[in-house]
Amino acid sequence: MPDSPARPSVAQALVPVGLLIGLLAASVYLFGDGSSSGPNQIALILAAAAAALVGIRNGHSWQAIERGISQGISVSMSALLILLVVGALIGTWILAGVVPTMIYYGLSILSPSVFYAAACVICALVSLATGSSWTTAGTIGIALVGIATAQGLNLGLAAGAIISGAYFGDKMSALSDTTNLAPAVAGTDLFTHIRHMVWTTAPSMAFALVLFAAAGFVAPTPGPTQDLAVVLDALEREFVIGPHLLIPVVLVLVLIVRRVPALPALLVGALTGALFAVLFQSETVVTFVDDPTLARPLALVKGCWIALFDGFTLESGNPALDDLLSRGGMASMLMTVWLIMTAMMFGAVMETTGQLQAIAGKILGFVDSTGSLITATLLTAFGTNVLASDQYIAIVLPGRMFRAEFARRGLDPKNLSRTLEDAGTITSVLVPWNTCGAYMASTLGVATLTYAPFCFFNLINPLVAALYGWTNISIAKLPASAPVGEDAAVTT
């Protein structure tokens, strides 16, 4: 074995990528909608094994690759824990009547003609205040999907509107981790980064809202089978409905606005949901447990406990409502956790063995102008989301690769930080095996490939960024006295 590993060729790096693409295509063909329930995970593991074999052939030891896998999966541990807590939160919030209350009021206020645009705006405001697209989808988003289901609306469009709004707020909020990460990687400051993003983000969101508004007016009106009065009556019959049940939602939003980390904030929300279930939905909890041998206090404890780990099951006699509100619990997220872990395994092997860098580095050979550099950065960030399955890697890796090139061309680092978010952050949710795509599909209950065509903001924003690069709109230059090349790459 050589003293130091050899650098992989692009051809070598494309072997595991090609295998992964082929296996994922076969998975979808053979298993359809169930492809994310195990088949995709096997595809990712086999592709990771192929990438490891390429690495070993080039001189990497298995021990080094294994350390890389451990480190890669550890990067996603925070996301995995948040995912589990969100499952618990969904379970207790349904049991406590929090989600049913949001659905009830939403059905009473939001009309189908304005639903998509309104859902996008609501999620944008919540995400802007919290800095978290995941929290927005796991709270307000769940209720909005419920409203869309009850009104017989297109769930792909509804989820696309929710995700578009959630990612707009996440991208522009100073509380967002990716919004802080991108300028740190590029070498600029937070508020310079946010101000510069307005150029690409604002018109993208405006265009998306026009499309959502148009969709609301041209979409077919729900048929007569969608009797909202029946759904409202069923909600009132099964749960106590009232504005006081929105307190857990307000509590979680306040905690996150006050910069309490997402994991403890969501855990507090889940436990508050359990408390509210005992206080306000005791009959529903006892009926859910359905164990006459237990004393009432023990039945209440058992019901909340079940909701935390295994979710809630409703048997109202209304199939649509039962399907909508029978969900949640940490157990409901385990399949997604499996998907994320195998995806991170593949990305870690590719990065540890240098294959990811080889593919991205090849792209630089085509860069001969500002427009091509911006486009290359966008494509690399999106490609990293596809290959590494993680938005953080999709920000950090292209940022490291292209930082010196931006400086060498005399471009202000805020151009790079904006470009990293214009693709790295918002395209992650469009990839089914990415942590973000898997999370949204699991949380909203809508498959990634079903909602992806309707994530108008997420699809438009990278195109606007590329257009600005080729036309030099809002492309800031470094001052003439500023250092260039590698020296600029360390200037903050």
Give the tens place of pLDDT for each residue, 419-443: 999 999 999 999 988 888 988 998 8
- Considering the domain architecture, whether residues 18 and 122 belong to the same structural domain is answered as no
* 378 occurs within a structural domain: yes
* 247 occurs within a structural domain: yes
* 440 occurs within a structural domain: no
- Considering the domain architecture, whether residues 179 and 197 belong to the same structural domain is answered as yes
CB 161 within 8 A of CB 136: no
pLDDT digits (tens, 9 = 90+) for 371-424: 999 999 999 999 888 887 778 878 887 887 788 889 989 999 999 999 999 999
- Considering the domain architecture, whether residues 275 and 245 belong to the same structural domain is answered as yes
Domain extent, residue 422, equals: 10-75+344-433+467-490
* 148 occurs within a structural domain: yes
- Considering the domain architecture, whether residues 248 and 233 belong to the same structural domain is answered as yes
Which of 302, 332, 362 is at the close of a domain? 332
**Cα gap 167→204, rounded to integer Å:** 12
CB 382 within 8 A of CB 39: no
pLDDT of residue 265: 87
CB 335 within 8 A of CB 36: yes
* 441 occurs within a structural domain: no
- Alpha-carbon Rg for the chain in angstroms: 24
Which of 332, 354, 381 is at the close of a domain? 332
Residue 97 or 132, more confident: 97
* 452 occurs within a structural domain: no
Q: Is the dihedral of CA 351, 353, 359, 362 positive or negative?
A: positive
Name the 3-class secondary structure at 12: helix
CB 474 within 8 A of CB 468: yes
* 450 occurs within a structural domain: no
- Considering the domain architecture, whether residues 370 and 247 belong to the same structural domain is answered as no
**Cα gap 340→443, rounded to integer Å:** 14
* 277 occurs within a structural domain: yes
In the structure, what pLDDT confidence band is assigned to residue 221 with cuts at 50, 70 and 90?
A: low
CB 13 within 8 A of CB 358: yes
Please give the torsion angle defined by the CA atoms of residues 133, 135, 138 and 141, in that order, rounded to the nearest 10 degrees: -50
- Considering the domain architecture, whether residues 232 and 289 belong to the same structural domain is answered as yes
- Considering the domain architecture, whether residues 357 and 220 belong to the same structural domain is answered as no
| Residue ranges in 258-390 assigned as alpha helix (H) | 262-280, 282-289, 296-310, 319-325, 334-352, 355-364, 370-388
- Considering the domain architecture, whether residues 70 and 94 belong to the same structural domain is answered as no
pTM above 0.85, yes or no: no
Which of 304, 332, 360 is at the close of a domain? 332
- Considering the domain architecture, whether residues 237 and 304 belong to the same structural domain is answered as yes
- Region 209-238: what's the mean pLDDT? 76
Number of domains in the chain: 2
- Considering the domain architecture, whether residues 128 and 40 belong to the same structural domain is answered as no
Name which of 164-173, 195-204, 482-491 the model is least confident about: 482-491
pLDDT digits (tens, 9 = 90+) for 444-473: 989 999 999 999 999 999 999 999 999 999
Q: Name the residue among 196, 116, 223, 105 with its Cα closest to residue 159.
A: 116
Q: Is the dihedral of CA 336, 321, 153, 201 positive or negative?
A: negative
- Considering the domain architecture, whether residues 29 and 103 belong to the same structural domain is answered as no
Q: Name the residue among 202, 158, 136, 208 with its Cα closest to residue 457.
A: 208
- Considering the domain architecture, whether residues 71 and 82 belong to the same structural domain is answered as no
Name the 3-class secondary structure at 117: helix
**Cα gap 177→189, rounded to integer Å:** 14
What's the first-to-final CA gap in the chain, in angstroms? 41
